[in-house]
A and B are shown apart, each in its own frame.
Chain A
Amino acid sequence: MTTLSYEVIFGALAAGLLVSLVSFSGWFVIGLSAQRLHSLVPNLVALAVGVLLGDAFIHLIPDAVTRQGSVREVCLTVLVGMFVFFMLEKLVRWRHDHNTDISPVANEILPLAKMNLIGDAIHNFVDGILIAGSFLVDPALGFTTTIAIIAHEIPQELGDVGALLRGGFKPRQAVLFNFYCSLTVLLGVMFTLLLSQIAESSLTLLLPIAASGFIYIAASDLIPVLHERSSLMQLSSQSLAFALGIGFMKFIVLFEQTLLVA
């Protein structure tokens, strides 16, 4: 680890702000008509499922295994994380929601949207730790890590906005709340700059927890939404979006490896 030079501090902060700025990539949904949005949202949700599961299984969990060294420990942490997310959703439903259906009534936000925001916030916090951690090692590595994180954030933000829209948010609100969640990147950056040693070791715990959040949200909240409509058209378009999400994450992981090796 190098000492904290202004290049490391300002570089990490600028990179964190850039990742937060990328969360506005779902902006295009604001200009769409209600009918267009209605047909687009299930496909965005399917994309979110593919991206979340892809991120968890081919990005976060292998990364956690590399850091932790034990597959058993990582799997156990993922399971504990899923249990915590289950409890959290139960609490959210018990505390705020009387509607347990998967269709929002007027001005109501479904638990799937709230869980998505919580999961996204944890993931962005982890991204902040990764960005600042790599800036601490070498500013050049910090830049490449930032590019890799931005590349995987864009499809994920699109999927997240789709999930928030499905959860009852209005288009403007969905983009704005998605941005508020992305500000946890800056918290992760500051946490790492202030307590680099603790932040580095906390990744072995935070990476599987972020992965468990993604698996839980995709499997328990988003996939049931995809089963609402079962026409052949929906089946083909949603399957394509799902596969596209997984394929995109695989491509990003390969891109990230090439970038970090170079």
Chain B
Amino acid sequence: MNSLDSWLYIIGIELLAILACVWRLSQEATIKRRVRQGILLVLGFMLAHVFTHLLPNAMACFIFSSYHQFAPRNLWNDPL
């Protein structure tokens, strides 16, 4: 996982922790519903990122790692 992914995950986990705390503390139904939607949004974004970016990358690394010529490219830092 490259550095940008790590940051996105750290921010995502922090957001989820904050939203979970607010959800637990607030007693108004409307706020609870909004916070629940926020949790789903953040979780959805993180899951979408896993399935569209991290998982295919990990699979490609696994499949091609037996080739000596293969060197995993850091997509964010290395120019194509």
Does A pair with B? yes
Chain A residues within 8 Å of B, Cβ to Cβ: 6-7, 10-11, 13-14, 17-18, 20-21, 24, 27, 30, 172, 175-176, 179
Q: Given the interface contacts A10-B8, A172-B27, does A21 sit within 8 Å of B22 by beta carbon?
A: no
Q: CB distance A175 to B25 under 8 Å? A: yes
The docked-state distance in angstroms from the alpha carbon of A32 to that of B21 is: 18
Residue of B nearest to A171 (CB): B25
Q: CB distance A7 to B25 under 8 Å? A: no
> Considering the complex of A and B, which 10 residue pairs feature the smallest CB-CB distances, nearest first?
A10-B7, A17-B14, A176-B25, A14-B10, A24-B21, A14-B11, A172-B25, A6-B4, A21-B18, A175-B25
| A-B CB pair tally, cutoff 8 Å | 41
**Residue B3, interface by CB 8 Å:** yes
The docked-state distance in angstroms from the alpha carbon of A195 to that of B7 is: 22
Q: A179 contacts which of B7, B10, B21, B27 (Cβ < 8 Å)?
A: B21
Interface SS of chain B: helix, strand, loop or mixed?
helix
Chain B residues within 8 Å of A, Cβ to Cβ: 3-4, 7-8, 10-11, 14-15, 17-18, 21-22, 25-27, 76
What are the residues of chain A within 8 A of B10 when measuring CB–CB? 10, 14
The docked-state distance in angstroms from the alpha carbon of A182 to that of B61 is: 42
Q: CB distance B7 to A21 under 8 Å? A: no
Q: B18 contacts which of A6, A10, A20, A30 (Cβ < 8 Å)?
A: A20
The docked-state distance in angstroms from the alpha carbon of A20 to that of B17 is: 11
Q: A11 contacts which of B7, B22, B76 (Cβ < 8 Å)?
A: B7
Q: Given the interface contacts A7-B7, A10-B7, A10-B8, does A17 sit within 8 Å of B15 by beta carbon?
A: yes
27 CB < 8 A contacts A-B: A6-B3, A6-B4, A6-B7, A6-B76, A7-B7, A10-B7, A10-B8, A10-B10, A10-B11, A13-B11, A14-B7, A14-B11, A17-B14, A17-B18, A18-B14, A21-B14, A21-B17, A21-B18, A27-B21, A30-B25, A172-B27, A175-B25, A176-B22, A176-B25, A176-B26, A179-B18, A179-B25
